[in-house]
A and B are shown apart, each in its own frame.
Chain A
């Protein structure tokens, strides 16, 4: 299996699908020069400027045009550059892409993938750092994907390009350069979590960049004799309830960790579902950890204060183990 970066993995997946299906095309700012994070490097040379389309800084038109193009026999992949900028195209995503199939009674489909890079990226401040995945989980019609590894970015990009409904594909900017082996024959179905580490004492549910923090925390906790199961959700809508509920039934304890603001974050949905459906299995109060409800600041010490880290997760996990029966 080849080793590649997170950015390269998604690019390979896109290129493979574009070779197979001539109706797939990508549009966004600076794609012809490889994309702002290099995720499209070399693609215009292979596919030409008709299919790797450089656009104006015009988010509403990029997404709006993609909706029209998706309803007219093509499968666009939209690059929004930063999830924060995608807010300039929220009508196009929420009122148009997500609604067209339903409000037109199934007369049309909107097969598009919107790449919206999320997350803190050193000193990018309030308008280039947000993790807004929970917003999109709230919108009927959308699929929401948050890959954490190169292998998942490859497999989930492939599945997303094959999906006939709009997919919000949220890569984490801090992960672009991480490397791992990628199974190129592997397709990863949307909506399927991965149990990255098995354990019997505590279930940690996480996704995106925070998954790596959770894995470090699980390592640290194992030194103390606490055996943690780590579930990487990978797809947030639909989320893999079966895997999470089965795990909690086994461990009796749940901690959800994510980088996004904790208030109204997707962790709340997971916690509520587990409390509802697996209450009798619980041996301790459920915990969640996310960012305080504060915009992301610029100065590194302030930024770091808001970060969900492996140390922070470890502290909460210890409390959780102690608080139970």
Chain B
């Protein structure tokens, strides 16, 4: 049966994915120029997961993410100018330059933070959902983690928690096949994330994470039952990281042919091919790409010009009682 496409929706996704890609290309450029001094973990090639999932979240819904979280954060509605300043450690960054890429967060849009510890956001998400339930609020929590996280305790403990307390959490295993720079399959027993989730009583849906339409459809279809309080669900989105683990990873642990082949499944290109089959004005697609690049070039230029945080920032927001501004020692 031929799918009926919601063209406007797909175009919004296309623009969002282009913006995520352009943001990360700009971040990589910043890294090349030695303006990003800490590690950044680009998600180039994984944009369909960010867009397909986060597009289905409401503004009041909550999101937690991983060290590879630029795309998720942007897709949740964060301001890229604030994000880029954070990557460059500048004043006006989301954490006043104190967190950097791995702790990107924007609480004003419900993005409760990327986490530098693999899997740590899983039970934090369950707890956020527990609070939502206690406070009798309607929103849900989305917890995105990688396939590397399924071998850590929080995956077991956090999923179990969400099941036992019937919490409104959408777990998303963004499975790019690599735990850092090691193939996850080589270090993982059993049948992978979906099987493990199901064993804990969390129903799961596995999708081609490079197929935006599939990810979007899966997220859209599981959302109502989570919102109705019927407990958590997990989406396993199979994807591939098209660049190194970090900006400085020479990516020597996988054959070039494998990466080149994966580029042929670039999710942005795939969505574009679908849209090219419709009767839209094809110039729109190019326009999206150009406008995204222009936007993020501007974001980068602005961040570059931004000042360092004032030194007083170092001592702010540690704690109230025992504040280092009163007693650092």
CB within 8 Å of B: which residues of A? 23, 25, 50-51, 55-56, 58, 60-61, 64-74, 76, 91-92, 95-96, 100-108, 140-143, 163-165, 190-191, 237-238, 241, 273
Contacts and interface: CB of A to CB of B under 8 A. Distances in A.
Interface in B200-248: none
Contact of B105 (A91, A104, A142, A190): A104
Contacts of B134: 23, 25, 50-51, 69, 74
B43 interface: no
Q: Across chains A and B, which 9 residue pairs bring their CB atoms closest together, nearest first?
A: A68-B127, A105-B95, A65-B127, A64-B123, A61-B157, A238-B322, A72-B131, A68-B128, A68-B124
Nearest to A140: B318
Contacts of A72: 62, 112, 127-128, 131-132, 135
Given A71-B112, A140-B319, A107 B128 contact: no
B123 A164 contact: no
B179 interface: no
A166 B36 CA distance: 31
B127 A69 contact: yes
B177 interface: no
A325 to B, nearest CB: 29
Contacts of A69: 127-128, 130-131, 134
Most buried by A among B97, B131, B153, B154: B131
Nearest to B100: A103
A273 B328 CA distance: 12
A64 B62 contact: no
Interface stretch (B12-20, B158-166, B251-259, B266-274): B158-166
A22 B16 CA distance: 40
B328 to A, nearest CB: 9
B112 A241 contact: no
A56 to B, nearest CB: 6
Contacts of A165: 319-321
A41 B196 CA distance: 37
A74 B93 CA distance: 27
A95 B98 contact: no
B95 A103 contact: yes
Contacts of B319: 101, 140-143, 165
B24 to A, nearest CB: 21
For the complex, would chain B's binding face be called helix, strand, loop or mixed by DSSP majority?
A: mixed
A273 B327 CA distance: 12
A267 to B, nearest CB: 16
B143 to A, nearest CB: 9
B278 to A, nearest CB: 41
B304 interface: no
B38 to A, nearest CB: 12
Place the interface of chain B in its size category. 35 or more
Given A68-B131, A69-B130, A104-B107, 10 more contacts: A55-B161, A65-B127, A68-B128, A68-B129, A70-B131, A71-B124, A73-B135, A104-B95, A106-B317, A190-B321
A73 B127 CA distance: 11
Given A61-B157, A238-B322, A56 B128 contact: no
B265 interface: no
A64 B131 contact: no
B98 A102 contact: yes
A92 B123 CA distance: 9
A149 to B, nearest CB: 21
Given A165-B319, A165-B320, A96 B120 contact: yes
A237 B318 CA distance: 13
A243 to B, nearest CB: 14
Interface string B260-289: 000000000000000000000000000000
B314 to A, nearest CB: 10
A140 B134 CA distance: 30
Interface in B132-184: 132, 134-135, 141, 153-154, 157-158, 160-161, 164
Interface string B300-329: 000000000000000011111110100101
A178 B154 CA distance: 38
A107 B105 CA distance: 8
A105 B128 contact: no
A108 B107 contact: yes
B123 A104 contact: no
B94 interface: yes
A238 B123 contact: no
Contacts of B77: none
Contacts of B120: 64, 91-92, 95-96
B186 interface: no
Nearest to B98: A105
Nearest to A272: B329
B192 interface: no
A65 B324 contact: no
A95 B112 contact: no
Contacts of B93: 105
Most buried by A among B97, B115, B317, B324: B317
B40 interface: no
B46 interface: no
Given A73-B131, A141-B318, A143-B322, A67 B327 contact: no
